[in-house]
Amino acid sequence: MFSKLEQVEDRFIELETLLSDPNILSNQTEFQKIAKEHSDKSDIVANYRLLKNVLQEIEDNKELLSDPDDEIKVMAKEELSILANKQKELESTLKVLLLPKDPNDDKNVMLEIRAGTGGDEAALFAANLFRMYGKYAEKLRWKVDILSSNTTGIGGFKEVIATITGKGAYSRLKYESGVHRVQRVPDTETQGRVHTSAVTVAILVEAEDVEVNIEPNELKIDVFRASGPGGQSVNTTDSAVRVTHVPTGLVVSCQDEKSQHKNKAKALKILKARLYDKVMQEQHDEIAESRKSQVGSGDRSERIRTYNFPQGRVSDHRIGLTLYKLESVMEGELDCVIDPLTTHFQAEAMKAAK
């Protein structure tokens, strides 16, 4: 590990020199590339330098153990105990920081929520989950934009697709994909029985044009009249758009906007994210096949979490986490769930890297 850390620090120093080079400063593309690499390495270098200081202090205090003054020996022993804990913490932090970074971590995401089994109750919970993620995004000052939605008459969502734009959005939300189960008494239940419903959540990376190349001849585009509630022109003109990607059979429909062009643009944005996700899933499946022992598949059909309203309980089944904080979680206080998940999957990555 120390050999790797030395290499990172050497490169960091080299990058600092490059950032003050006039030739680099005059080339914004190159400057931004170097600045990003410098920023990515800054946490590793800062912690490594702290670790080197701690190791030096440990050596200094070990020398004091042979001091003739008993009081100095006692102080040195106490200091060594504190420094040993600091060394352990810094080494653990550095092991995580040295893990290969997910190239998508800093990207924006596309959030797709769909009602599953449970009818109207599932649709209502889909709306609750969308609100939960919206509240979480608000706390982190991320921006949420709805691209497409299919509502029910009682305030639920059969489906809602939105972009979430903000620093680290994918890194924080990437473990949310899967089946979310709710257990509660629906408003329509007259006998007070607890019902179980399910909602699927998909977190997709918002694909950039350079990452997904779609040829015009690969697309079949249909226009049709929008249905459901809308303004004067939404239901009277052919503004809704259905885009089919012929090679894969993926279909995306958008009808939220009055403009056909805006609906087409939104549909293509969703399609690109799904195509990029398809490639990522195929790569993931290949890796998972070669690492049978790896925990947490990220499979969209995997039941990942249960929200039990009568008990005020949230359980994440992948890591055996149970919290009696349902109310605060539904208000967007998601760090108490996301942080343990991140720690777990980082630990799994460290095992796989050995």
For residue 67, the model assigns a pLDDT of: 82
For residue 283, the model assigns a pLDDT of: 63
* Whether residue 264 is found in the same domain as residue 115: no
List the CATH number of the domain containing 299.
Answer: 3.30.70.1660
102 belongs to a structural domain? no
* Whether residue 318 is found in the same domain as residue 304: yes
* Whether residue 118 is found in the same domain as residue 207: yes
For residue 334, the model assigns a pLDDT of: 95
Q: What Cα–Cα distance (Å) separates residue 203 from each residue in 245, 254, 283?
A: 20, 19, 16
Count of structural domains, the chain = 3
Q: What Cα–Cα distance (Å) separates residue 259 from each residue in 93, 224, 254, 264, 343?
A: 50, 12, 10, 9, 45
* Whether residue 247 is found in the same domain as residue 308: no
For residue 232, the model assigns a pLDDT of: 43
For residue 261, the model assigns a pLDDT of: 80
289 belongs to a structural domain? no
pTM, entire model? 0.64
Sequence-distant (6+) residues with CB within 8 A of 86 are: 54
**Which of 261, 282, 303 represents a domain boundary (last residue)?**
282
Are 136 and 339 in contact by the 8 Å Cβ rule? The answer is no
For residue 337, the model assigns a pLDDT of: 94
243 belongs to a structural domain? yes
For residue 237, the model assigns a pLDDT of: 62
**Which of 231, 255, 282 represents a domain boundary (last residue)?**
282
Q: From the first residue on, what is the mean pLDDT of each consecutive set of 10 residues in the chain (354 residues)?
A: 84 90 86 86 90 91 86 90 91 79 82 89 94 96 90 88 90 92 83 88 74 75 68 56 83 80 83 81 59 38 87 94 95 94 82 64
Per the structure, the complete domain to which residue 161 belongs is given by 109-211+294-353
Reading the block at residue 146, the tokens are 């709805």
* Whether residue 84 is found in the same domain as residue 138: no
Are 148 and 266 in contact by the 8 Å Cβ rule? The answer is yes
For residue 289, the model assigns a pLDDT of: 53
**Which of 237, 256, 282 represents a domain boundary (last residue)?**
282
For residue 239, the model assigns a pLDDT of: 76
* Whether residue 133 is found in the same domain as residue 243: no
* Whether residue 89 is found in the same domain as residue 9: yes
